[in-house]
Amino acid sequence: MKSDSPTAAPVTSTMVYRWPLTLVLGALAVALAAQFAVPLPLTPVPMSLQALAVILVGGLIGAAAGTGAMLLYLVAGAFGAPVFAGGAVGLPHLIGPSGGYLLAFPLAALVTGRVARRGHLGRSMLAALLGMVTIHAGGLAQLTLLGGSFRAAFAAGTAPFLLVDSLKVVIGGLVLWRGQGAFRPRA
**pLDDT tens profile 53-68:** 999 999 999 999 999 9
Nearest in space to 180 (alpha carbons), one of 33, 52, 58, 68:
58
In the chain the domains, ranked by start, together with CATH numbers, are 13-179 (1.10.1760.20)
Nearest in space to 185 (alpha carbons), one of 24, 19, 25:
19
Supply the pLDDT for residue 86.
84
**pLDDT > 80? residue 74:** yes
Give 79's DSSP letter. Answer: T
In whole angstroms, give the CA distance from residue 138 to residue 119.
29
**pLDDT > 90? residue 185:** no
pLDDT confidence bin for 16, thresholds 50/70/90: low
Supply the pLDDT for residue 114.
95
Mean pLDDT to the nearest integer, 169-180:
91
pLDDT confidence bin for 176, thresholds 50/70/90: very high
**pLDDT > 90? residue 182:** no
- CA angle (61 as vertex; 55, 62 as ends), nearest 5: 80
Supply the pLDDT for residue 127.
97
Tell me phi and psi for residue 136, to 5 degrees.
-65, -35
User: Is 48:38 a contact under the CB 8 Å cutoff?
Assistant: yes
| R_g (Cα) of the chain, nearest Å | 17
Reported as a single tens digit per residue, the pLDDT across 149-171 is: 999 999 999 999 999 999 999 99
Supply the pLDDT for residue 4.
46
Supply the pLDDT for residue 5.
45
pTM higher than the cut 0.85: yes
pLDDT confidence bin for 28, thresholds 50/70/90: very high
**How many CA atoms are closer than 13 Å to the CA of 10, on its beta-carbon side?**
5
